[in-house]
Amino acid sequence: MKDQSPNSWEARADAHSFYGFTDLPTIENRGATVLTHGRGPYVFDVHGRQFLDANSGLWNMVAGFDHAGLAQAAKDQYDRFPGYHAFFGRMSDQTVMLSEKLVEVSPFESGKVFYTNSGSEANDTMVKMLWFLHGSEGHDQRRKIITRKNAYHGVTAVSASMTGKPYNSVFGLPLPGFLHLTCPHYWREGQPGETEAQFTARLAAELEEMILREGADTIAGFFAEPVLGAGGVIPPPEGYFQALQPILQKYGIPLISDEVICGFGRTGHTWGCEAYGFVPDAIISSKNLTAGYFPMGAVILGPQLTQRLQAASEAIEEFPHGFTASGHPVGSAIALKAIDVIMNEGLAENVRRLTPYFEAHMQRLLENPNIGEARGKGLMGALEAVQDKGSKTPFAAELSVSERIANTCTDHGLICRPLGQSIVLCPAFIFTESHIDEMFEKLEAALKQVF
Ligand code: PLP
C-alpha cells in the first residue's frame, strides 16, 4: 500500500516526476516502486524489498544489474575518454572497433553502421536514410512506410507512426503515409478453419494488395520485428518472412529487421532474422547492444543499402544527420564488452539451454482455464488471459486483468509486464533454473489470487 506521508519516496516521486507509460490509477493506489540497486536479476527498493525482475529492466538488462565487467568497461572508458561524437571526420577508436564488430557479427557479408541514442532514433534514422536514398535516386515519391498493427518501433513522431498501437491516436498519429498490415498473430487473427500456412498466404496477399493499391513507386520500406515484442510477444506464423520477402524484392522495397529486442541472443540466435531464416536489408539494434548499461542504438546497413547510401551521400558530399552523442566512446566500449559477454561468456548459450525449461513452464500454465495462449521464442514469452478459453473472449478492458496480475506479482516480489491482455516474461540471460522456478511460483500464486 502507498506510503501517504508527505516525505515518502512515493510522494516525492509523484510530486516531481511526470510518468510515461504508467497506469495512473495504479500509481494512485500503490505509489511508484522506487528502486535503489540491483544484484544479478534482482532489484531492491527504498523499503528494502527484493524483486525478481522477469522483465530484464525493459528487455535490455540481459547481463543482470551488477555485471562487474560491464561496469569496469564503462569506468575504464570514462577515465580514458568520456565523450565525443562521431562526425566531422572524427570518432573514437572504440567506435571504429564497435562498427567492425557489428558488421562481423551481422548476417551481412559487408556493411556499415550508424549510431543513435535509442531504438526509436535508430528507426527514425533508417526512415530518413530511405527517404534520402530514394530521393537521390530520383524517386522522391517513395516515402510511405509499411509496418504491422500492434508493432512497436518507438516513440518519436516517426517511429510512433510506425508503431501500430491504437494509443498513438491521442497524439494525432500516425503521420500520413505510415501504413499498417494485419498483425501476424495466428491465434487471434487466423480465421475459423484457416491453417497457419493459409494465414501466412493471406498476409502475403494483403501486403501485395497494399503495395499495388498505394503504388509500388510510393513505398520507401517495410519494417518488422522478427517477433513482435511490445505487441505482446507474437512470433510470426510459419513461413511468414519467406512469403513476404520475395514480394518486397519484386517491388524494390527494402526489408528492415527491427532487432531492438530480438537482437543479441533473446531468441536463442544472435539475430531474430537468423531465427526465422531471412536476411534483411538492414538491422535496427539497441537495448541488448549495451546490455542496458548505456543508451545506444545502431542502424546496421547491409551491402546494398550501404552502397546506395554511400552514393547518395557522395552526390551531395554528406549525409546530413546525427545526434550529439552518436557513437559515444563510453557507449561503444560498453557495447564491445556487452557483445563479448553475450556471445563469448555463455549468456547466449544459457538462453538456448534454458529455453526448453522456460517453455515447459509456460505450456504448463495453459492448464489454467483463464490462460488462452502461451507463446514465445527463446527467453521471451507471453501468457494471454481470457475470460472464456473456448471462444477466446478477452476480459472486459476496464477490468485490466493483466495489470491486476502484474500488481499482485509485485506484491509477491516479482516484476513482470502487463501488455494488453497478456503477461510478458523476458528474463535476463543470466537466469538459472531456480530463477525460472521462482518466477513461475510467484506468477502462479498471483494468478490464483486474481482468477
Ligand atoms: N523497436 C523495438 C522493437 C522496441 O521494442 C523498442 C523499445 O522497446 C524500440 C524500437 C524503441 O527503442 P527505445 O525505447 O530505445 O527508443
| CATH of region 33-66+354-450 | 3.90.1150.10
The pLDDT tens digits of the residues spanning 352-401 come to 999 999 999 999 999 999 999 999 999 999 999 999 999 999 888 766 89
Kindly give the distance from the C-alpha atom of residue 356 to the centroid of ligand 1, in angstroms, as a whole number: 27
The pLDDT tens digits of the residues spanning 221-269 come to 999 999 999 999 999 999 999 999 999 999 999 999 999 999 999 999 9
Residues 272 and 226 sit within 8 Å (Cβ to Cβ): yes
State which ligand 1 atom lies nearest to the alpha carbon of 229: 5
State which ligand 1 atom lies nearest to the alpha carbon of 297: 15
Kindly give the distance from the C-alpha atom of residue 53 to the centroid of ligand 1, in angstroms, as a whole number: 19
CA terminus-to-terminus distance, the chain: 21
Q: Is 153 in the pocket of ligand 1 (CB under 6 A)?
A: yes
The pLDDT tens digits of the residues spanning 39-63 come to 999 999 999 999 999 999 999 999 9
Q: Which of 280, 286, 322, 320 is nearest to 303 (CA)?
A: 280
- CATH architecture classification, 70-344: 3-Layer(aba) Sandwich (3.40)
Mutate which of 62, 261, 264, 289 for ligand 1? The one with the most ligand atoms within 8 Å of its CB, which is 261
Asked whether residue 329 carries a pLDDT value surpassing 80, the answer given is yes
State the DSSP code for 137.
T
Asked whether residue 3 carries a pLDDT value surpassing 90, the answer given is no
Q: Is 260 in the pocket of ligand 1 (CB under 6 A)?
A: yes
Asked whether residue 116 carries a pLDDT value surpassing 70, the answer given is yes
Residues 183 and 228 sit within 8 Å (Cβ to Cβ): yes
Q: pLDDT value at position 2? A: 76
Percent of the chain with pLDDT over 90: 95
The pLDDT tens digits of the residues spanning 19-36 come to 999 989 888 889 999 999
CA distances from 49 to 35, 38, 181, 410 (A): 9, 11, 43, 10
Q: How many residues does the chain have?
A: 451
- Judge if 33-66+354-450 and 70-344 fold alike in CATH terms: no
Q: pLDDT value at position 396? A: 83
Domain ranges of the chain: 33-66+354-450, 70-344
- ipTM at complex level: 0.99
Mutate which of 120, 123, 161 for ligand 1? The one with the most ligand atoms within 8 Å of its CB, which is 120
